[in-house]
Amino acid sequence: MPLIDLTFAISATSISENTTFPLMRNTINTIVSEYDIFRIHYSVIVFGAVSTTHIDFGTTIPNKAHLIRTVARLPKEDGPVNLVLALEDAKRVYQSQEVRPEARRFLVVIMDNQPVDNVDNVVTAVTDLNNLDVVVIGVSIGNSINSTDFETITKDPRHIITAGVNKSAVELGKEIIDAIFISIRSKSSLFFCFVVNTP
């Protein structure tokens, strides 16, 4: 397992929010439970009309049980969904001194409803994250949003995940980790090819 600094930005504002928000929290916690808090460091943003960073890389987390309890108690934010605010918060998270220089950086955006942002503003915010070497993965849950809503935040279709409201948190967590490792393997392959082909 490589070092990973992993941020989740989650938003549940659809008519199914009472189902989707627990699914989002449980998905985070299945990943924490499986991979612990040592190789992977976590931050969590909850957003809607406003965005709040509840956990960042400087938050004191004594053990994974503490983190799991904290995530399970996160409050939901009401809509409309302002994705740009969450992306800007994620940028601030990755600009902090607690980010490990050698860690891979991933932002997982999970939404159950369409954002209201101007597309150009979203592209600008994503570009800022890309410039910080942050890979963005998009997860849509339910019927109020679809995969095309994530095409502005990720360049790789393998980094877009769709899920029904009754999806298992364990299965969704696995799909997110699989997407992360697809990116890690792809970058490693590109680096290997560059080294081999360098005269």
Question: Which CATH number covers residue 182?
Answer: 3.40.50.410
For residue 187, what pLDDT is reported? 59
pTM over 0.85: yes
Peptide bond into 115 cis (omega under 30): no
In the numeric block, which tokens belong to residue 128?
A: 């800022």
In the numeric block, which tokens belong to residue 99?
A: 């980010």
Total count of domains within the chain: 1
For residue 102, what pLDDT is reported? 95
> Are residues 164 and 141 in contact, defined by beta-carbon separation less than 8 angstroms?
yes
For residue 155, what pLDDT is reported? 78
Closest C-alpha among 142, 137, 139, 140 to residue 153: 137
In this prediction, the residues of the chain whose per-residue pLDDT falls under 50 are 188-199
- CA torsion sign for 53, 187, 97, 121 is negative
The parent domain of residue 52 ranges over: 4-197
What SS3 class is residue 137?
strand
For residue 104, what pLDDT is reported? 96
- CA torsion sign for 173, 174, 180, 183 is negative
CA–CA distance, 96 with 72 (Å, rounded to integer): 25
For residue 155, the tally of other CB atoms under 10 A from its CB is: 11
> Are residues 112 and 47 in contact, defined by beta-carbon separation less than 8 angstroms?
no
For residue 138, what pLDDT is reported? 96
